[in-house]
Structure 1
Amino acid sequence: MPKFDNPLDLPFAGEAAASLGLAGRKLKKTLDALRQYDADVSSSAHPSDEAARKQLVMGAAEAYWGYVVQREQLGLLDPEYIAKEYDIPSDVKLAMGPKGRGPTA
């Protein structure tokens, strides 16, 4: 884990914390959108649209990947903790990666 012992490193520590917080909020926002979509389909609030759901899954998968990468940069090597803490759906885990990398299905 990076140590920010030098007083000159304090701005970097603040930036790292702010960036990690932003990545966590982005992950939560994308997962919330996916869950809301699934709830709306389940309640018949709107019909299922495979392409729309895939887009939501891919957005969440990219956000999940970004959050994991940022945590790893800080020495936090625990993607399974994140998966449990955020209740990451299995299809999001399988598609995890940078934009455009997901499954071709």
Structure 2
Amino acid sequence: MAMAGRSIGRGAEVNGILGIDLEILGEQASALGRAGRRVEATLAALAAGDASDHDRLIRAAAEAVWAYFIQREVCGLRRHDEAIAVYGIPREVLVRVGGG
């Protein structure tokens, strides 16, 4: 609890944001970073894979992209156009996610 310039424990205000809020934002950012790295890894595997494994790689990439989009939305990022361009997410992956 914050009172007139004094603060007590984890709930202390820092520039109008409670300490717990800062922790939540940090965890959201961390989870978004992990999800982005997973997208990168699955897209790299897709690019390097052979035709016999193509369907499995597309499914794995679509799952990673879907999870990444969900995490973006949790962070308040509702439009994914820029992320699609930055990661170079192929249309065949987006179709599996439902955004192609």
Give yes or no for TM over 0.5: yes
Structure-2-length-normalised TM-score: 0.76
Question: Where does residue 25 of structure 1 map in the other structure?
Answer: 37
Please state which structure has a larger fraction of its residues in strand. Answer: 2
- Measure how far apart 1:58 and its partner are: 0.5
1:15 matched to 2:16? The reply is: no
Q: How many residues align?
A: 83
Question: Where does residue 68 of structure 1 map in the other structure?
Answer: 69
Higher relative contact order (CA 8 A, sep 6+): 1
Question: Where does residue 86 of structure 2 map in the other structure?
Answer: 85
- Measure how far apart 1:36 and its partner are: 0.9
Partner letter of residue 18 of structure 2? N
Partner letter of residue 65 of structure 1? W
Partner letter of residue 72 of structure 1? E
Q: CA RMSD in A?
A: 1.5
- In 1, Cα distance between equivalents of 2:58 and 2:20: 40
Higher-Rg member (1/2):
2
- Measure how far apart 1:8 and its partner are: 2.3
Gaps spanning 5+ residues in structure 2: where?
Answer: 1-15
Structure 1 outlier segments of 4+, above 6 Å: none
- The residue matched to 2:61 in structure 1 has which SS? helix
